[in-house]
Structure 1
Amino acid sequence: MSDGTEQTKKFEPKQTVQLAPPKDDQITPEYLSKCNGTNEGYPTLVAIKGTVFDVTGKDSYAPGKQYHVFAGKEPNRALASSSLKLEDCTPEYEDLAEDKKKVLDDWFTFFSKRYNIVGKLQSDTGSNL
């Protein structure tokens, strides 16, 4: 059994990344959808489990690149399933098996060590449940 330190280290970036303090700005799903790398004047954002990361300037999220399918979305299900299919880029993940949820948690850790947190995604319902 590991204390978690070894597990966390495997997600460390190869080069040191200076991250800004996390923000908790409220970001609407509508705004997030515009942040897909194709709209001038908008950053490129990816949300994971309600936390919004700024991936602007990272080539792999640019139009036509491998991870562009995630840009402007909350692709929890796709990340948990290691899928690059557009139809899997949905926020719902609660019904997934525990091993898939662990993969999603690993992606969250990966992103949090590389990209600035710029806000929290507002829920569509507006409730705080």
Structure 2
Amino acid sequence: MAIKGQIYDVSQSRMFYGPGGPYALFAGKDASRALAKMSFEDSDLTSDISGLGVFELDALQDWEYKFMSKYVKVGTIKKTVPVTDGETTEGDAKPAEAAPSESVVPEPKETTTGGEADKE
């Protein structure tokens, strides 16, 4: 599971993130928006945190600190951003604070790198 582009190994908490667990829907995804909003809606299972309010961003930061202290970081989500029609460029995920929340950016395709995230 990932928060703000950072992938964490949550396998030690299978009862929560494994099949049938209360947070299983977050597994294998960047759940930043859902965590910030405390949402279990499929539409919020995304890394897109644009438009979130101060309280939601604070909640997301709290989740990030919890994950950093409890779970091992095993990778980073790489984003592919369209440059022109038919061309793409790969770049590392930027911290959420670095992107202005008012800008509109095309939805990037996400791939994972490192650790257990590459295994199926």
Report the TM-score when normalising by structure 2.
0.65
The partner residue of 1:127 within 91, 111, 115 is 91
- For 1:108 and 1:70, the matched residues in 2 are separated by 14
Aligned pair count reads 84
Q: Write the deviation string for residues 54-98 of structure 1: whole angstroms up to 9, x where unpaired.
A: 001311001111000100000111000001222211110032111
Distance 1:63 1:124 in 2: 29
Distance 2:12 2:67 in 1: 14
Give 1:95's match in structure 2, choosing from 42, 51, 60: 51
Aligned: 1:72 with 2:28: yes
Q: For the residues of structure 2 that align with 1:127 and 1:60, how far apart are their CA atoms?
A: 31
CA–CA separation in structure 2 for the residues paired with 1:127 and 1:118: 18
User: 1:29-68, aligned counterparts within 5 Å?
Assistant: 46-58=1-13, 59-68=15-24
Determine which structure has the larger strand proportion and give its number. Answer: 2
Q: TM-score, normalised by structure 1?
A: 0.61
Q: Secondary structure at the match of 2:79?
A: coil
Contact in 1 for aligned 2:78/2:91 (Cα 8 Å)? no
Q: 3-state DSSP class of the match of 1:123?
A: strand
Unmatched segments (≥5 aa) in structure 1: 1-45
Kindly, what percent of the aligned residue pairs are identical? 35
Root mean square deviation, CA, Å: 1.4
Alpha-carbon deviation of 1:106?
0.4
Higher relative contact order (CA 8 A, sep 6+): 1
Whole-angstrom CA distance in 2 between matches of 1:71 and 1:52: 10
> What residue number does 1:111 align with?
67
Q: Say which SS state the counterpart of residue 76 (structure 2) adopts.
A: strand
